[in-house]
Amino acid sequence: MSDEVLITRDGPVMILTFNRPEARNAMTWAMYERLQRACEEIDGDDSVRVLVLRGAGGKAFVAGTDISQFTAFQSAEDGLAYERGGDERIGRLERVKKPVIAQIQGYAVGGGFGIATACDIRIATPDARFGAPIARTLGNCLSMEAYSRYLDVLGPSRLKELIFTARLMTAEEAHAAGYVHEIVLPEHIEGRVRELALTIAEHAPITLMVTKEAVRRIQEQRRARGGEDLISLTYTSADFAEGVRAFLEKRRPQWKGK
């Protein structure tokens, strides 16, 4: 697992690299756990002022959760536990006291879309793509917190259209929506992110922390909770089981609405 998540330092900047390029950096449970531990480490180290997240290989930031792990799901509780765990993981990333920059090349979809959304600043290459194409792939759903998080940055109309069509936003569209802060060519993105991170690292850490936490608290007050009935319905459906099988078998799922 240590090779699947790489952590390095560049002065006051901690850099976490999702390192499964052969799987487009799809997240295993162990990778999610390492991300959470990194959040604890950065908050416990005053010498770290900024966290940068990136994906190895240049083709994807994170292309979701490793789908093979869903084959073990057998009950509503499996789906509920997965969504609760996702809320905990993404919520912990949001609560990191230092600014977090997402350096995005290629796909940031599914779980990767969630990770990118929890970051404070998103810098992307022109080939970056964003979304949660669950209506086309697995036939699962998101938690109420996840839907709320996307509503904060995209608005209800754009979010519903993305989910309904299962399409991915381009970098240009995401930039126009205010989701992506800058679009940078691949050969320049590492240098630009480093420049930005070092600039932020020079600024008053308490001001940054308080501003970040104030915004998070305001957003948290607006977020919906619950939705267990919706999650249970989705993860116990025949369509979800078919979606997982079809994905692993590399074929189109045959939806029955049951």
pLDDT digits (tens, 9 = 90+) for 171-189: 999 999 999 999 999 999 9
Residue 93 lies in a domain: yes
Residue 29 lies in a domain: yes
Number of domains in the chain: 1
Strand residues in 91-218 grouped as ranges (E) = 100-104, 107-109, 121-124, 129-131, 169-170, 182-183
Residue 152 lies in a domain: yes
Residue 221 lies in a domain: no
Predicted model pTM:
0.92
Residue numbers of the domain that contains 102 = 5-187
Residue 2's pLDDT is 64
Torsions phi, psi for 53 (to 5 deg): -110, 135
5-10/182-183 β-pairing: unpaired
Is residue 145 within 8 A of residue 94, CB to CB? The reply is no
Q: What is the chain's mean pLDDT, rounded?
A: 94
Residue 148 lies in a domain: yes
- The CATH number given to whatever domain includes residue 133 is 3.90.226.10
Checking if the pLDDT of 67 tops 80, the result is no
Residue 224 lies in a domain: no
